[in-house]
Amino acid sequence: MTATVRKAIADLVRGIAPHDASEEHDRQLALDWIDSGAQLHRTAKPDVPPMHLVAYFAVTDSTGAMLLADHLKSGLLLPPGGHCEAGELPWDTVRRECPEELGIDAVAAAAFGPRPLFVTVTRTRDPHGLGGIHTDVSLWHVVRADRDSITGFDRNEFSAVHWLTTGQIQALPLSGLDPAMHRFAAKYQHRLGQAAQDHGSSV
């Protein structure tokens, strides 16, 4: 990985305005990790190195509802996403993974653009006893799509997909979601409202 890529990733993380103390903590953890010179991208599945970069993308429609998928390996309801490959910036990962997982091109939501909205540092789960537990440093993006444009999904990754409002997401037990999902939904809804007031942006 080049110094240019490392700096670009650090700049993306520094550009995230934390929504709460937990995100501020994870943002600083991520920056310290990046600045340490550690290998950021996964080099071998599932856990080499044991801490590596991930790009989530929350697909949203014109109403602000969000697509979540039943993830086979984790057993959780998650946004789509994937591990960043060597030399990739997170938005490059989104652009690669979105067609692979949902059959659509990634279009950044107008209110947010291609920069990440949210950052988390999370230990993965191993519900099937397969091993390979590791730590994901995840940058969360927001993608815009029409519901009827998604006619399928990668059945090697997901068993089903669902469109949910942020209120419905926050009403679900956190045990079945990414540990930060409620917080992400709250930040997304808050920033969406700010963007609409400030600029009249569409979702």
Length of the chain counted residue by residue? 203
What would the pLDDT profile of 158-181 be if each residue is shown by its tens digit? Answer: 999 999 999 999 999 999 999 999
Break the chain into its structural domains and give their ranges: 3-194
> Does the structure show a pLDDT above 70 at 19?
yes
pTM of the model: 0.95
Burial of 57 (0-12, 13-18, 19+ CB in 10 A): buried
Q: For 105-137, write each residue's pLDDT tens digit.
A: 999 999 999 999 999 999 998 777 777 899 999
- Mean pLDDT score of the chain, rounded to an integer? 95
Whether residue 74 is predicted with pLDDT greater than 60 in this model: the reply is yes
Q: Which of 117, 137, 180 is nearest to 33 (CA)?
A: 137
Q: Which of 190, 168, 169 is nearest to 178 (CA)?
A: 169
Which CATH architecture does the domain made up of 3-194 adopt?
Alpha-Beta Complex (3.90)
Give the whole-angstrom CA distance, residue 44 versus residue 57.
Answer: 22
